Structure 1
Amino acid sequence: MAFLSPGEVRLLREAGHPRTWVRGEVLMREGETADSVVLLTGGLVKATVDSANGYTSLLALRGPGELLGELACIDGRPRGATVTAMRRSAGLVVAGEAFLRLLERDPALCLAVLRSVVGRLRDSDGLRADQGARTTGARVAGLLVKLAVQYGSAAPETLPGAVAVQVNQRELASATGASRESVVRCLRAMQRAGLVATGRGRTVVLDLAGLRRWAEEE
């Protein structure tokens, strides 16, 4: 797992139970009472927030080894986001009370969870800084590189070495703080450069090194 030792994973396995979710199934819903956490062991999920005007913002993608819902369990407040499976996913579901008892009893596990939370906060701070200092093209390219490296799946049917990212144009726009129209223009430019290909609900990275250079030079 990404931030847990084998012993810490064992503690969560003993306290929880395994579960699977099909694509499109909601694991957690914004506003609900937090009664459990999930340690994702397989698949890919997205965390989103709905605004009053109906706009849905993509907050993050999460993959194997990441905890879901721990903040709401710790502070007792309602869920801050909806978590939806983007493909068939699996995880360990641990009741909120059991999770809190584990944190109280095991300082190493508590520190590991704290480090995970701090890492996410740093990523969030970096994303906000990027939105003010980098062009839309650089932000979109940088996000695609990150998603391809962390959560991408091989797409040899498109091109040998290609990596598919299960994120659509609207989600790219909300994650980078750009308009959908700006993202579409950026993706078209990247397509002309042979860096990406777009499809229904996904973007395929054809040239990861070239896309990384694009992100740095834009």
Structure 2
Amino acid sequence: MTWLEKAAPLNRLDPDARSVLARLTPMQLPAGAVLFHPGEAVKGYAIVLSGRVDVSLTGASGREILLYSVVPGQSCIQSTMGLLGGSDYTAEAVTSTSTELVLLPRDKFLTLVDTSPGFRTIVFRAFADRMQLMMQLLEKVAFQRVECRLAERLVALANTTTGPISITQAELATQVGSAREVISRRLDAWARRGFVRTGRGTVEILDPAALDDIASDAV
């Protein structure tokens, strides 16, 4: 079985495109591996087969915000923009879990975009989907209160796990685009009201309905 069989849209491309892709070798990366830094030239198009890559931006003040995560079937907008427009990376990408991915070099990426309509459609559709998510993020950061973003994120994380959520306050701050001190104060206030229980690197949701109300800006 080749790695293409793990990537359904790519495995349905024309034979010539599949032949180019099949010659690439997947990489196994541990959690915490850095894929790129701001200012680096874009090396290629990352195709995530398993795991997750978090792409974040750090401002001059040192505050960090999670722009998006790349999981199987999704694209990295930073890489696509760099490959198509020639710009360098402006964000940092780090694997959040053990991750398997394939890196399609720049020259092969551009050749496939030029010669394979199917590949071109996959790339631009993924790019459009990611841009839509980025617009949603911009809207939330600009117009939604921090407590609403925090409640929404906690509810989303709770839906992917059982028991307490394993996450630090600094990580939560990055994911909702705020400062760790702000997140700490909000969690403390919610703990006093019985909405959550916090521990060292964990948050347990005790009143999901209350957080749902906050996330929807109903209270």
TM-score, length-scaled by structure 1: 0.77
For 1:7, give the aligned amino acid. Answer: R
* SS at structure 2 position matched to 1:83: strand
Deviates more, 1:93-102 or 1:207-216: 207-216
Note the C-alpha offset of 1:169: 2.3
Q: The residue matched to 1:84 in structure 2 has which SS?
A: strand
Q: Is the partner of 2:186 in helix, strand or coil?
A: helix
Alignment partner of 1:182 is 2:182: yes
**1:65 counterpart residue number:** 73
2:124 alignment partner, one of 114, 134, 139: 114
1:42 aligns with 2:50: yes
Is 1:100 equivalent to 2:110 in the alignment? yes
Superposed displacement of residue 88, structure 1: 1.1
Paired residues of 2:65 and 2:178 also in contact (CA < 8 A):
no
Instruction: Compute the displacement of 1:17 (Å).
Output: 1.7
Structure 2: unaligned runs, 5 residues or longer: 1-5
- Amino acid of the structure 2 residue aligned with 1:43: G
Shift of 1:131: 2.8
Query: Which one of 143, 147, 150 corresponds to residue 133 of structure 1?
Result: 143
Q: 1:61 to 1:209 in 2, by over 3 A?
A: farther
Residue 30 of structure 2, aligned match among 11, 22, 47 = 22
Aligned twin of 1:31: 39
Find out whether 1:78 has 2:83 as its counterpart: no
2:3 aligned residue: none
- Taking the aligned partners of 1:141 and 1:2, their CA distance within structure 2 comes to 33
**Structure 2 SS opposite 1:34:** coil
Question: How far apart are 1:204 and its partner, in Å?
Answer: 5.5
Residues 1:4 and 2:13 are matched in the alignment: no
Partner SS, residue 17 of structure 1: coil
Q: Deviations over 1:30-50 (max 9, x none)?
A: 211112121111112211223
Name the CA shift for 1:215/1:183 in 2 (closer, same or farther; >3 Å).
same
CA contact (8 A) 1:40 1:90 kept: yes
Q: How far, CA to CA, are the matches of 1:132 and 1:55 in structure 2? A: 16
Write the distance in 1 (CA, Å) between the matches of 2:206 and 2:9.
Answer: 32
* Shift in Å, 1:134: 2.5
Percent of pairs with identical residues? 23
Instruction: Indicate if the aligned counterparts of 1:49 and 1:56 stay in contact, CA closer than 8 A.
Output: yes
* Aligned counterparts of 2:34 and 2:196: Cα–Cα separation in 1: 32
Q: Note the aligned Cα RMSD (angstroms).
A: 3.2
Which region of structure 1 is more displaced relative to structure 2, 82-91 or 128-137? 128-137
Q: Which is further off, 77-86 or 109-118?
A: 109-118
Question: Structure 1: any 5+ residue segments left out of the alignment?
Answer: none
Contact 2:63–2:178 (Cα < 8 Å) also in 1: no
- Residues 113 and 119 in structure 2, CA contact (< 8 A), matched pair in contact too: yes
Q: Report the CA distance shift for 1:127/1:51 in structure 2 as closer, same or farther (over 3 A).
A: closer
Q: Structure 2: how far apart are the matches of 1:4 and 1:32?
A: 29
- Structure 1, residues 72-119: CA drift from partner, whole Å, max 9, x if none? 112111112211111211111211111121122222322222222222
1:67 Cα shift? Answer: 2.5
In structure 1, what is the Cα distance between the partners aligned to 2:203 and 2:84? 35
**1:199 Cα deviation from its structure 2 partner:** 4.0
Q: Decide whether aligned partners of structure 1 residues 189 and 88 sit closer, same or farther in structure 2, where only a CA change above 3 A counts.
A: same
In terms of mean alpha carbon deviation, does 47-56 or 83-92 score higher?
Answer: 47-56
- Judge conservation of contact 1:29–1:81 (CA < 8 Å) in 2: yes
Instruction: Give 1 or 2 for the bigger CA radius of gyration.
Output: 2
